[in-house]
Amino acid sequence: VAVPSLVVYMNKVDMVDDPELLDLVELEMRELLSSYQFPGDDLPIIRGSALAALEGREPEQGHDTIMALMAAVDDYIPQPERAKDRPFLMPIEDVFTISGRGTVVTGRVERGVIKVG
């Protein structure tokens, strides 16, 4: 599977007291990504703690880093192009039976658009 763009979230930084160790880990990640033909020096790497964000503590390591992650995704990951002028195609990925509602199918729209009515 080709992955054209990548944003990295370095999690659990709240468990490390030495900032130099975090710098070393980031450097090694960049080297590893470069060895797989990614632009390791240019990729955004966001440091934070997902648990701190979930628990609402230490916003500089939690909530703020999640917001920075989403901003990096918005800035760095291009919008996928979908052929809106072709017939609608949505492969079915799963089917659920929900009591009181009926059968619900889920999938991802590959091309085209649908409209109400």
Domain annotation covers residue 3: no
Report how far residue 51's alpha carbon sits from residue 87's, in angstroms, rounded to the nearest whole number.
43
Q: Do 59 and 92 fall into the same domain?
A: no
Q: Do 13 and 60 fall into the same domain?
A: yes
Contact 8, 68 (CB under 8 A): no
Contact 103, 95 (CB under 8 A): yes
pLDDT band for position 79 (50/70/90)? confident
Q: Do 55 and 13 fall into the same domain?
A: yes
Q: Do 52 and 26 fall into the same domain?
A: yes
Report how far residue 88's alpha carbon sits from residue 110's, in angstroms, rounded to the nearest whole number.
8
Domain annotation covers residue 2: no
Q: What is the mean pLDDT of the chain?
A: 93
Q: Which domain holds residue 71?
A: 8-76
Q: Do 59 and 91 fall into the same domain?
A: no
Q: Is the pLDDT of residue 2 over 90?
A: no
Task: Report the DSSP beta bridge partners of residue 103.
Answer: 97
Average pLDDT of the residues in 43-61: 94
- Amino acid identity of residue 30, one-letter, is R
Q: Do 36 and 57 fall into the same domain?
A: yes
Beta-carbon contacts of 41 under 8 Å, excluding residues fewer than 6 positions away, are 30, 34
Q: Do 90 and 41 fall into the same domain?
A: no
The two structure tokens encoding residue 68: 């920075």
Span 26-45, pLDDT tens digits: 999 999 999 998 998 999 99
> What domain count does the chain have?
2
Beta-carbon-side half-sphere exposure of residue 111 (alpha carbons within 13 Å): 5
